[in-house]
Amino acid sequence: MALHIVYYVYGILHSKSYRKTFSADLKKMLPRIPLISDYKKFWAFSKAGRELANLHLNYEQIATYPDTTIESLENKEYASLNSKNISDDGLLVAEKPKAGTSNSEYEYYEVQQMKFPKKGQKDTIIYNHYHTVKNIPEKAYEYVVNGKSAIEWIMERYAITTDKKSGITNNPNDWSKEHEKPRYILDLLLSIINVSVQTVDIVNALPDVEWEKE
């Protein structure tokens, strides 16, 4: 029973109406979880909480969202357009490799900075010079974590950055090489898209409750 209560709490914390009703309180104190007297709604929240916990704990194992597609250029295929990697129609164009570099699988999946083709076009993410992720559902961006969609957190976190003060460079591709998983970052992005969609669907299906504030 204790585990059902844990899942119930996790479900409640994802309720839109709960967050809206207690938004001011949640900013200044630990959340207070009301106990719902309607046992059917209790079990609905507990079941949803279990599903959400499974998604959020095992996010790396979640498959790609069925409608999302990847357009990829082959390892040895290159094109150029005024030294840019995005064509006039917004499609990905691969850059020629730098002199002296090999075309390894790690370079094929290496990420510099994921980005959208243009402002406001979020159904497409340009992963790198070789891969473009398309048909991302609009509702995937409704899953927000700390003020930003989970997808955009991944795009921001998994980028090569250099600290101005220390000069230290953070390269997320190093982890992929250390663990011999060249596709890790791309697969993670694809998983998070599906996690986001499923999370939104579960949250939208939560029971309606009239919360009473003390």
Q: Containing domain of residue 50, as a range?
A: 2-57
210 assigned to some structural domain = no
Residue 207 within any structural domain of the chain: no
- Look at residues 33, 57, 81 and tell me which one is the last residue of a structural domain: 57
Check residues 179 and 79 and name the one with the higher pLDDT.
179
Note the pLDDT of residue 39.
84
pLDDT mean across residues, the chain = 84
Among the listed ranges 8-12, 138-142, 151-155, which one has the minimum average pLDDT value? 8-12
User: In degrees, to the nearest 5, what angle opens at C-alpha 158 toward C-alphas 152 and 164?
Assistant: 105
Taking only the tens place, the pLDDT of each residue in 103-143 is: 578 888 999 999 999 888 999 999 998 899 999 999 999 99
Q: Which two tokens stand for residue 212?
A: 């009473």
Are residues 117 and 86 in contact, defined by beta-carbon separation less than 8 angstroms? yes
Answer yes or no: is 211 within a domain: no
Identify whether 206 is part of a domain.
Answer: no
Residue 79: predicted pLDDT: 41
Check: CB of residue 76 under 8 Å from CB of residue 94.
no
State the pTM of this model.
Answer: 0.82
Phi, psi (rounded to 5 degrees) for 131: -125, 135
Distance from C-alpha of 64 to C-alpha of 187, rounded to nearest angstrom: 8
Among the ranges given (8-12, 44-48, 84-88, 156-160), the one the predictor scored with the smallest mean pLDDT: 84-88
What are the pLDDT digits (tens) for 19-65?
877 777 667 777 778 878 788 989 999 999 999 999 999 999 999 99
209 domain-assigned: no
How many helices (H) and strands (E) in the chain? 8, 7
Whether 174 and 87 map to the same domain: the answer is yes
Strand 148-149, strand 144-145: pairing = antiparallel
Q: 186 and 136 in one domain? A: yes
Q: Is the pLDDT of residue 1 over 70?
A: no
pLDDT tier for residue 212 given thresholds of 50, 70 and 90: low
Q: Quick check: is 62 in a domain? A: no
Orientation of helix 39-57 relative to helix 2-12, angle to 10°:
80
